[in-house]
Amino acid sequence: MKSSETQIPVPSLSSDLSTNVCPKCKETSEEVLNMETRKRVGWYCLKCEYFEKAILRETIIYKVTKVHI
C-alpha cells in the first residue's frame, strides 16, 4: 500500500456470528434466528432499524457446547 492510500476498516462479524457491525450506522446489530428451520435469518440493528440478510455459511446456527450462567 502506498503512503497516500488510506485503509478503510471493514466491518467484522463476531466469531460466533451472534453480532455484526451495522453497515448503515456502524453500531452493533444482533442476530435474528428462525428456530423452526434452525437457521440464522440475518442481523437487525436496534438503533437505525436496518436489517442485513444472512447468506451461505452465515445461516448456520452452531450448537452450544457449554453454557455459563
pLDDT in tens, 3-27: 555 554 445 556 678 899 999 999 9
- Kindly report, residue by residue over 19-66, the tens digit of the pLDDT: 999 999 999 999 999 989 889 999 999 999 999 999 988 888 876 666
Give domain 19-59's CATH architecture.
Answer: Single Sheet (2.20)
Asked if 20 contacts 13 with a C-beta cutoff of 8 angstroms, the reply is yes
How far CA 13 is from CA of 5, 22, 45, 59, in Å, comes to 25, 10, 13, 13
Which residue shows C-alpha cell 440475518? 42
